[in-house]
Structure 1
Amino acid sequence: MSNPAEIPQTMQAVICHGPENYTLEEVPVPTPGPGEALVKVDAVGICASDLKCYHGAAKFWGDDSRPAWAETEVIPGHEFAGTVVQLDDLAAEKWKVGVGDRVVSEQIVPCWKCRYCLRGQYWMCGPHDLYGFKRRTPGAMAEYMIYNVDALVHKVPNEIPAHHAAFAEPLSCSLHAVERANIGFDDVVVVAGCGPIGLGMVAGAKSKNPAKVVALDMAPHKLEIAKECGADVVINIAEEDADKIVKDLTDGYGADVYLEGTGHPAAVPQGLKLLRKLGTYVEYGVFRDDVTVDWSIISDDKELDVLGAHLGPHCWPAAIRLIESGALPMDKICTHQLPLAEFQKGLDLVGDGTSSIKVSLIP
């Protein structure tokens, strides 16, 4: 346990007051309870879901059809890395970490009591407390944060740059989507989107050693990075006929697996079209708008397996190893690091989407 006298009493933090109403404020440094850790935030990434929340599409106050999953008066930020500055013996023993260690925490804080948690399906926990979305679990757009007593915590080598270590969160999500697809050696796998999630999907799919990994995007520089992540074929969908190219690669049948990581409504019917009969569609994108498709393609026409994917359960150690291995062009993926005070610029960069891939704040 560190010397509490060395820890300041106040810190800078971004506070969500509602849609498009985020402010940088001076707030008290939180105090860890039994079995918790106080962590100095080294880096926090900005995710598409952070942007969705910022613009008010997160159903802050809920509606009759779907409960709210984001609350106001909370510190955002759910993909992060930090350094332990204070913890008790219970936390140290539970997580096998100590003061000075660089650590990440999975974005969900399970209750460990609901039906899903008791069945080992903690990533679908009923209460679903996520860092940065609920007041019970403040996030990482701050100088310090608490790793909750119920959290899943992983140690990261200190030599990994902080903004690279924070990428373990989106990368674990990508790897979970890949696992959901059950990729085989003879499969042609198509990945839609070469943003943070899509590039991780490319790398994860390539590690399964399928026949081909095909990456789709409209940005030439992102497609070049996809090649470095393992894509065998890249297709600029603004200039090339993806359907024809994929059909040519597969003797006219279509792709075996389609992984959707863009969150763009047009990517859904695109995937249904590109897949062969009895193919597998995995959805990971964060959509801001409702998506409508012809479901007869899924049933009568092709009998597709359509799967969802959520968070990155059981994939964090693999994501950390992949980052540590140096196999990914992390400096090209982590394009922007900004001070915490420039959080608005960071949100705008993510919203624009043309000049950045992964934007991180460095408190």
Structure 2
Amino acid sequence: MQMQSKMKALVTYGAHDYRYEEVDRPTAGEGEMIIKVEGCGICAGDLKAYHGGSVFWGDEGSPPYLEVPAIGGHEFTGRIVEMGSGTERKETYGTADSSFKVGDRVAVEQITPCGACRYCEEGRYHLCVPHNVYGFKYYLNGGFAEYAKLTKESLVYKIPEDMPLEQALLIEPYACSLHAVGRAAPGTDDIVVISGAGCLGLGMITAARKRNPKCLVALDLNEERLEKAREFGCDVTINPLRENLKEKMMDMTDGYGCDVYIEATGHPSSVKQGLDIICKGGRFIEFSLFLEPVTCDWSVIGDGKELDMYGVSLSHRCFPETIEGLYTGELKSEGVVSHKFALEDYEAAFEQSAKGNGSIKVVFTFE
């Protein structure tokens, strides 16, 4: 049966300029695959691009990262419907050997490594210098469409046939969460604070719970999300608007502060509160993408507390463990996907995702 030559897609033309259109369906060249998209999550990065964040659209000091027209979305899964020659290949960067066939259900990492830069050669492909991520380049269209092309550079993973879509659409964000927890390296004597209990924060909570820290604390302004954080394994949850965070943290830690602080809100106040409640010699992990630059008192990092500061980017080598953890239930996921929208209802989907109240992860589905 011949496949359709056109497809529906949400195309990015500029900040606030997204259009639901009919476009040409991609075809597979050498080493490429076409998947029929099952669904795609809306990331905080997608929202910040939609609302005009300078990190995507540039400013006086930096060029735009987003190259348009582009089809957004990097949290997607689907089923292979077309394969170019040379697609039967060995996976790269330490994943298992794998061959693919039409009909396989797959997930794909958000970045397509060049394989030639210093970082790719060192195996740190997530830091690849071109840093091409699905959905932000006109030549690397993402999952806000009925079909998507997986390029020959893509890192592709088979996923179980019977994995619920609600789990499958958490593979990419949970893999990022797992990487963040790996960077934090919490030990059994550590008091760990995760600031933000959205999708990514909940992924961090369930991943951190596996490491059995002395005390696992979640911060959020949303009581429903704090309830989910407790369900996922937090010992303590705190709403900083309703409780004195520093006072409670100092009471819990004999006046020292937490050992590990993971910032997962993308709000400047979360950075400042983290520097305030972390102990001397603690580990501060910055995960979020901010709409604009953030300022803080850097003397706290050095002379004040001698902190270890860790950044987190993407999901280095975390897809296989994440797929297994979600499938077995070791990584909790029930209720995280809270809203499903058809692609044509993208404005309502973005609005729901942005306001947060009553929702955690908002996704597009093509069921």
Asked if TM exceeds 0.5, the reply is: yes
Contact 1:183 1:210 in 2 (8 A): yes
Q: Say what the alpha-carbon RMSD is for the aligned residues.
A: 1.4
TM-score between the two structures when normalised by the length of structure 1: 0.96
| Match 2:296 to one of 293, 313, 316 | 293
Q: Which runs of 5+ in 1 are unaligned?
A: none
The residue number in structure 2 matching 1:131 is 134
| Match 1:307 to one of 302, 307, 310 | 310
Secondary structure of the structure 1 residue equivalent to 2:70: coil
Q: Report the Cα offset of residue 89 of structure 1.
A: 5.4
AA in 1 matched with 2:156: V
- Distance, in Å, in 2 between the alignment partners of 1:252 and 1:107 is 41
Contact 1:191 1:259 in 2 (8 A): yes
- Distance, in Å, in 2 between the alignment partners of 1:28 and 1:88 is 18
AA in 1 matched with 2:12: C
| Match 1:79 to one of 57, 75, 79 | 75
| Match 2:186 to one of 183, 187, 202 | 183
Contact 1:60 1:72 in 2 (8 A): no
The residue number in structure 1 matching 2:220 is 217
Q: Per-residue CA shift, 1:14-46, capped at 9, x if unaligned?
A: 000101010110111100111111100001000
Q: Report the Cα offset of residue 252 of structure 1.
A: 1.6
Segment drifting more, 263-272 vs 231-240: 231-240
The residue number in structure 2 matching 1:57 is 53
Contact 1:129 1:136 in 2 (8 A): no
- Aligned pair 1:24/2:20, yes or no? yes
- Distance, in Å, in 2 between the alignment partners of 1:31 and 1:204 is 38
Q: Per-residue CA shift, 1:66-89, capped at 9, x if unaligned?
A: 332111210000111111111145
Contact 1:257 1:280 in 2 (8 A): yes
Contact 1:228 1:328 in 2 (8 A): no
Contact 1:258 1:282 in 2 (8 A): yes
Matching of residues 1-363 of structure 1 within 5 Å: 5-59=1-55, 62-63=58-59, 65-88=61-84, 90-94=86-90, 95-363=98-366
Contact 1:163 1:360 in 2 (8 A): no
- Distance, in Å, in 1 between the alignment partners of 2:188 and 2:55 is 41
Q: Which runs of 5+ in 2 are unaligned?
A: 91-97
Q: Per-residue CA shift, 1:90-109, capped at 9, x if unaligned?
A: 21334422221210110000
Distance 1:220 1:185, change over 3 A: same
- Distance, in Å, in 2 between the alignment partners of 1:337 and 1:327 is 24
Secondary structure of the structure 2 residue equivalent to 1:215: strand
AA in 1 matched with 2:292: D
AA in 2 matched with 1:142: A
AA in 1 matched with 2:52: G
Secondary structure of the structure 1 residue equivalent to 2:71: coil
- Distance, in Å, in 2 between the alignment partners of 1:215 and 1:102 is 34
Q: Report the Cα offset of residue 238 of structure 1.
A: 1.5
